[in-house]
């Protein structure tokens, strides 16, 4: 069987789905690899590096798509490219079924096997395939680095002959994978870290990393069976708003990570809260692409309100494309390995397997 990949739109996506290190593992499973010419050149990976591992480098994207039984990408291909894919071929990637629902349903009717990896169930067996966790981990780390780079003061406490520089105070909103990595990174760099989340189970994790968990009085546990946050009640939102409003008075840097899968990001830092924040503070909003957690977030812009900088990018992982590609490629390999019938050398769409059943677009 053949597995292939072509360019993403590099204006918005610099990650790749197949790295040289992964090729050997695919070939050991019996796959032949087809890649487009200069596939990894923007990351400093030459075609010869792939050829050394036995990859077929092709000059025509159509040829790659037509000849591959499995196509692995980051996002959904453009209409002209996806029209090349035929019945019984498989496309694996982050297909964004919430925004591409109709398009994906039409493709599924053509008997194209579509697997969207953000739909993976949160079960132990799927952890090695969990693209949301691997990518969010890097995003949480990079958000801290970017916000610290835009903060005009030192981060750790420094005791000097001229006096003491106080440690920066960081608030992490949302203690999922990205938030926990943000807490760990900020703490390692010497900041005093606070965190808040609607899931009470996050308290222990936050505190294990050295952060202080801010609890809304009378909190309800807003966690789905799948481990994601769910929408809060109006009463909870009001109490959370009051707690945040008071906390923000003493905070230097805020990392926003609160997301609800398939919905607009919850508005957490409202317009009236900015008046209480210190001038020179920085907010990095990882939820920018889904509408943002602040009232003023704009994608790919640095906005300043009352002396507070608000940052948010459409794809922060474009700033860590090599690390992000390495992790993503391993996630995809593990998914393919689970999907592949090694004895008969074919794809086995076993709908009794929760991993396959949940990720398959029907």
CA distance 187 to 181: 10
Strand order in the sheet with 253-256: 212-213, 192-196, 169-173, 253-256, 282-285, 308-312, 301-305
CA distance 194 to 170: 6
HSE-up of residue 358 (Cα within 13 Å, Cβ side):
14
Residue 182: enclosing H or E segment and its boundaries?
A: helix 177-188
CA distance 39 to 61: 11
What pLDDT does 198 receive? Answer: 82
Residues in CB range of 27: below 8 A, 6 or more apart = 33, 53, 54
Residues recognised as catalytic: 122, 127, 130, 133, 228
What domains lie within the chain, and their CATH numbers? 2-119+321-353 (3.40.50.720), 137-318 (3.40.50.720)
What pLDDT does 220 receive? Answer: 57
DSSP code string of 244-270: HHHHGGG-SEEEE----TTSPPP--B-
CB 322 within 8 A of CB 291: no
Q: Give CA 52 to chain center in angstroms.
A: 31
Strand ranges, E, within the chain:
2-5, 32-36, 56-58, 70-72, 90-93, 113-116, 158-160, 163-165, 169-173, 192-196, 212-213, 253-256, 282-285, 301-305, 308-312, 340-341, 346-347
Number of H helices, E strands in the chain: 11, 17
CB 110 within 8 A of CB 248: no
Q: Which residues in the chain land under pLDDT 70?
A: 217-232
CA distance 226 to 245: 30
DSSP code string of 291-316: T-SBTT--TTEEEEETTEEEEE-S-G
Question: Which residues are paired to 160 by β-bridges?
Answer: 163
What is the pTM for the complete model shown? 0.90
DSSP code string of 57-91: EES-HHHHHHH-SEEE-SSPPPHHHHTT--TT-EE
Q: Give CA 12 to chain center in angstroms.
A: 14
What pLDDT does 241 receive? Answer: 86
What pLDDT does 275 receive? Answer: 92
What distances in angstroms separate CA 233 from CA 195, 221, 239, one per listed residue? 20, 11, 10
């Amino acid at each position: 069987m053949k597995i292939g990949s072509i360019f993403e739109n590099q204006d918005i996506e610099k990650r790749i789905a197949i790295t040289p290190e992964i090729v050997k593992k695919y070939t050991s499973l019996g796959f032949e690899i087809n890649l487009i010419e200069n596939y990894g050149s923007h990351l400093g990976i030459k075609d010869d590096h792939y050829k050394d591992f036995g990859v077929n480098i092709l000059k025509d994207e159509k040829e790659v798509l037509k000849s591959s039984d499995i196509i692995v990408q980051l996002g959904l291909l453009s209409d002209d490219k996806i029209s090349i894919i035929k019945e019984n071929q498989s496309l694996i990637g982050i297909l964004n079924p919430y925004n591409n629902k109709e398009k994906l349903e039409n493709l599924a009717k053509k008997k194209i096997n579509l697997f969207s990896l953000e739909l993976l169930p949160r079960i132990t067996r799927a952890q090695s395939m969990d693209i949301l966790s691997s990518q969010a981990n890097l995003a949480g780390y990079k958000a801290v680095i970017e916000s610290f780079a835009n903060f005009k003061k030192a981060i750790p406490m420094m005791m000097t002959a001229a006096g003491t520089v106080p440690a920066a105070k960081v608030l992490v909103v949302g203690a999922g994978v990205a938030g926990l990595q943000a807490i760990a990174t900020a703490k390692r760099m010497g900041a005093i870290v606070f965190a808040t989340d609607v899931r009470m189970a996050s308290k222990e994790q936050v505190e294990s990393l050295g952060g202080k968990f801010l609890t809304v009085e009378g909190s309800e546990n807003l966690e789905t069976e799948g481990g994601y946050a769910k929408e809060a009640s109006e009463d909870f939102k009001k109490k959370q708003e009051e707690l945040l409003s008071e906390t923000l008075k003493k905070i230097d840097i805020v990392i926003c990570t609160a997301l609800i899968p398939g919905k607009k990001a919850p508005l957490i830092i409202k317009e009236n809260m900015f008046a209480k924040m210190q001038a020179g503070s920085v907010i990095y909003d990882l939820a920018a692409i889904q509408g943002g957690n602040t009232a003023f977030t704009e994608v790919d812009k640095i906005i300043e309100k009352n002396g507070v900088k608000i940052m948010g990018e459409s794809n922060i992982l474009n700033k860590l494309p090599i690390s992000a590609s390495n992790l993503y490629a391993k996630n995809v390999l593990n998914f393919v390995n689970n999907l592949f019938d090694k004895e008969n050398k074919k794809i086995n769409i076993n709908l009794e397997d929760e991993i396959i059943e949940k990720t398959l677009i029907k």
